[in-house]
Structure 1
Amino acid sequence: MSVAVSLLCNVFYMIVFPNCKINLGLHVTNRRADGFHDLETVFYPLSVNDALEVISPGTLQFGSSGIAVPGNAHDNLCLKAFHLLQKDFPTLPRVNIHLHKHIPIGAGLGGGSADAAFMLQLLNNKSQLGLSEAQLIDYAAQLGSDCPFFIANKPCYATGRGEVLEPITLDLSGYSFLLVHPGIHVSTSWAFKQLTPQLPAYALREKIQLPVAAWKGVISNDFEEPVFQAHPVLAGIKEKMYMGGAVYATMSGSGSAVVGIFPKNKIADILWDASYRVFKIR
């Protein structure tokens, strides 16, 4: 009976919808000996989603649709997530994976990290691996600095490389969000090279507790200055959001998506370039 149950749980079809994140404040505080950087930020989940379809048993194939996914399919983080678990669970059955990409790539929204984290969770649940959230976070940290957040997938104050997570109370359901991506790709490695790490005067953990209307000029993203200098159009997008009534606006991560927080259901009707990808989250 136990063998039959084990085999049955490895036959499945499932589709999940990995969501994106935004950074509310981002400070690069130290360059580490391992070449990475320490930072502090607040991650907040938003409902702009990819669609991840997994079928078992399969032949370990990966396909995609929607936004073109750059690079070799064999290097996709979803496949890397599978191989990472398979090292410790050799009997993990092969699967077929299809990813419909909707979250803009290279935009500071963590879409690839979300896909990988959701893949870990799906395999854990459907193959009954019995991994705890803490164990999944450890696996996720091996795939990328943003990946652990998507295991928790709730507002978190993050330090270290972004993998040290502290859940915080931050409810923005009383606001609407406008997310604009102009199609500009910002190299993360280039962006880090533009910064001189330093500790902020006050920890972001304290500043995020201020009323949202008080965030402007107080909660900042270290990457904005060099990225806006290289791509002035991004500064223009942020300014348009403020002119349109945003209570707070910021670039997410190292860019290039810009997010504005508006009073509930009062997102300004702003005319954007037709090539921009615009998301309204009410």
Structure 2
Amino acid sequence: MIIFPNAKINIGLNVVEKRPDGYHNLETIFYPVKLSDALEVIESEETSFSSSGIEIDAAPENNLVYKAYSLLARDFDLSLVKMHLHKVIPFGAGLGGGSADAAFALKMLNGYFELGLTTVQLENYAARIGADCPFFIQNKPTFAHGIGDQFKPVKLDLSAYEIVVVKPPFSVSTPQAYQNIIPAKADFNLLEIENLPIEEWKTVVKNDFEKSVFPQFPEIEKLKNQLYEAGAVYASMSGSGSALFGIFRHLPANLDSSLPKGIFIYR
């Protein structure tokens, strides 16, 4: 059995409050995009995890896919399997690739072993792996708040547009992204985005992390401006970066040549 865990982008991201536990309350919209990994499971004489594609710098037992299997194995008598992940979604990019892999692994194993878990049960398992993991169970446009673990569906359909994800050849760590962040109530309610023409997003739909990340990595801000110059109707950093995305009505033929060399481009 093989499935294709897809990435997400953040449309707007407001850091609204620092919590007593040290975390921050956020408001954002998770939107699924086509950029995908590939995950396969087959019967085996021992349970194992392997990977290809982008190198994963972690022991197999620490991978979220393996953790998803282990989580279900505590409650169910699972047979032995080999899991292989071909990694395409880059790390440290704000695209949720690891969370997607874990959530899709839960869904795949639920079907593979005929466990009969409901959507709510799968979301509960996913929440034990990561705050944004449950989003990928239903994998639909969602308003997320709290620490990114509370969800509300939104009616947002960008299927008429082309979404391009670009990533510079470096990552941004979470501590770097939070430098100089001052939590504040958002000026725009992201729940109203479905009623806002996309041409007006540029002025009101903001990612607060850009205020912190761009001064540290001016090449990311330059890349965002280049997406607008190439014709994007909206462009933004996703999550805490370093990836950005541009939403286009029509992709320009010279997009690749208009961006700096060394930039990873995903359509």
Q: Name the residue aligned to 1:56.
A: 43
Amino acid at match of 2:169: G
1:225-269 residue CA offsets vs partner (Å, 9 max, x unmatched): 111111000000110111111110000000000101111344652
Equivalent-residue separation in structure 2 for 1:247 and 1:164 (angstroms): 29
Q: Match for residue 11 of structure 1?
A: none
> What is residue 145 of structure 2 aligned with on the other side?
159
Q: Is the 8 A contact 2:68 2:102 kept in 1?
A: yes
Kindly indicate whether residue 8 of structure 2 is the aligned counterpart of residue 15 of structure 1. Answer: no
Q: Equivalent residue for 1:34?
A: 21
Q: CA–CA distance in 2 between the matches of 1:219 and 1:267?
A: 27
Match of 1:100 in 2: 86
For normalisation by structure 2, the TM-score amounts to: 0.95
The corresponding residue for 1:130 is 116
SS at match of 1:207: helix
Instruction: Say whether the 8 Å CA contact 2:162–2:247 is kept in structure 1.
Output: yes
Unaligned runs of 5+ in 2: none
- Specify the code of the residue in structure 2 equivalent to 1:231: F
Residue of structure 1 equivalent to 2:65: 78
1:75-105 deviation digits (Å, cap 9, x = unpaired)? 000011111111222x122221111001111
Q: How big is the shift at 1:107?
A: 0.5
Q: How does 1:1-282 map to 2 (within 5 A)?
A: 14-89=1-76, 91-266=77-252, 269=255, 270-280=257-267
Structure 1 counterpart of 2:122, one-letter code: L
Where 1:194 maps in the other structure, the secondary structure is coil
User: Which runs of no fewer than 5 residues in structure 1 stay unpaired?
Assistant: 1-13
Calculate percent identity across the aligned residue pairs: 48
For 1:6, the equivalent position in structure 2 comes to: none
TM-score by length of 1: 0.90
Q: Secondary structure at the match of 1:217?
A: helix
Distance in structure 2 (CA, Å) of the matches to 1:228 and 1:165: 28
Cross-structure match for 1:4: none
Q: Which runs of 4+ in 1 moved over 6 A?
A: none
Stretch moving more, 17-26 or 80-89: 80-89
Q: Please state how far the C-alpha of 1:192 moved relative to its aligned partner.
A: 2.5
CA–CA distance in 1 between the matches of 2:36 and 2:89? 6
Instruction: Confirm or deny: 8 A CA contact 1:176 1:261 kept in the other structure.
Output: yes
Change (3 A) 1:134 1:227: same
Q: Could you tell me which amino acid in structure 2 is paired with residue 228 of structure 1?
A: F
Q: Is the 8 A contact 1:176 1:267 kept in 2?
A: no
> Which of the two has higher C-alpha Rg?
1
For 1:273 and 1:211, how far apart are their aligned partners in 2? 30
Q: Distance in 1 between matches of 2:50 and 2:27?
A: 35
Give the Cα separation in 1 of the matches to 2:160 and 2:264.
24
The separation in 1 between residues aligned to 2:181 and 2:74, in whole angstroms, is: 37
| Superposed displacement of residue 219, structure 1 | 0.1
In structure 1, C-alpha distance between the alignment counterparts of 2:8 and 2:237, rounded to whole Å: 12
- CA spacing shift, 1:126–1:229, aligned 2, 3 Å: same
RMSD (Å), alpha carbons: 1.5
1:268–1:178 CA distance, 2 compared to 1 (3 A): farther
